């Protein structure tokens, strides 16, 4: 008698109680959780105050001049003003902070730490393009000659003055071909510069070099 071959058992898809399916789901969940944890650990960014506009010495600043950005500063994080630290109602900065730059803690003060004052000086319009807001420049002065014919040889009067503002002199009452440059000057330097300007001296700005 010939026996009939046994019918092949049908292959059924695994049910939700299948151990292999459960283990697979657990592995996927653990993998996703691990990736998320790794990304969070790698993202060490913090909130910092950054300038919304150019902020210059001598001008009163407040929280409205700044906004919060996320940044990773690693070892230098303690040098900048954190977003969770409230800014003073009114304050000055000791150096120019460009729009988008972070606010250094040591730049915030109630008054200029070097005792400088802001003064407008009329200078020649043909000064170097590198002399701009936030830059440093040496002040050269050529006094008017005693006979009224031209100027004497220029001499350096001020080293490393900070430029905090510039205005084109378009008024009819302003000297022709000049630009008013606002500088931060010490009390000692202020009288000589103002005296030279009052007496018609020719004032020029030269970018400060490293050697200065």
The neighbouring-strand residues paired with 165 are 182
Give pLDDT, residue 137.
Answer: 92
Give pLDDT, residue 30.
Answer: 72
CA 198 to chain CA centroid, Å, is: 35
State what percent of residues in the chain have pLDDT above 70.
Answer: 75
* Residue among 131, 194, 128, 130 at smallest CA distance from 163: 131
The stretch 103-129 carries a mean pLDDT of: 81
CA 103 to chain CA centroid, Å, is: 7
The neighbouring-strand residues paired with 108 are 93
Give pLDDT, residue 15.
Answer: 57
Residue 212 in this model has a pLDDT that exceeds 80: no
Which run of H or E residues covers position 38? helix 19-42
Give pLDDT, residue 46.
Answer: 84
Q: Which of 22-26, 45-49, 127-131 has the lowest mean pLDDT?
A: 22-26
Q: What is the pLDDT of residues 68-82, one digit of tens each?
A: 998 887 767 788 889
Residue 77's region, left for phi above 0, alpha for psi from -120 to 50, else beta, is alpha
Please report the DSSP string for 132-189 in residue order.
-TT-EEEEEEEPBPTTSSSB---EEEEEEEEEEEEEE--STTSPTTEEEEEEEE-TTT
The stretch 11-33 carries a mean pLDDT of: 66
Between these two residues, 8 and 49, which has the higher pLDDT value? Answer: 49
Q: What is the pTM of this model?
A: 0.61
Report residue 108: phi and psi, to 5°.
-90, 125
Residue 205 in this model has a pLDDT that exceeds 80: yes
């Amino acid at each position: 008698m010939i026996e009939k071959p046994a019918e092949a058992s049908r292959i059924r898809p695994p049910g939700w109680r299948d151990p292999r399916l459960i283990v697979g789901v657990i592995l996927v969940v653990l993998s996703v959780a691990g990736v998320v944890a790794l990304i969070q650990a790698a993202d060490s960014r913090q909130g910092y105050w950054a300038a919304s506009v150019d902020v210059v010495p001598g001008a009163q600043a407040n929280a409205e001049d700044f906004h919060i950005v996320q940044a990773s500063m690693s070892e230098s994080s303690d040098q900048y003003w954190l977003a969770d630290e409230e800014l003073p109602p009114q304050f000055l900065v000791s150096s120019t902070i460009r729009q988008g730059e972070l606010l250094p803690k040591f730049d915030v003060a109630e008054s200029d730490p070097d005792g400088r004052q802001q003064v407008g000086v009329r200078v020649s319009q043909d000064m170097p393009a590198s002399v701009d807001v936030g830059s440093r420049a040496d002040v050269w002065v050529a006094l008017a000659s005693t006979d009224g014919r031209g100027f004497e040889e220029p001499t350096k009067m001020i080293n490393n003055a900070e430029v905090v503002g510039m205005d084109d002199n378009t008024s009819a009452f302003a000297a022709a071909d000049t630009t008013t440059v606002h500088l931060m000057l010490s009390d000692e330097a202020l009288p000589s510069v103002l005296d030279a300007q009052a007496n018609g001296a020719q004032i020029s700005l030269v970018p400060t070099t490293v050697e200065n």
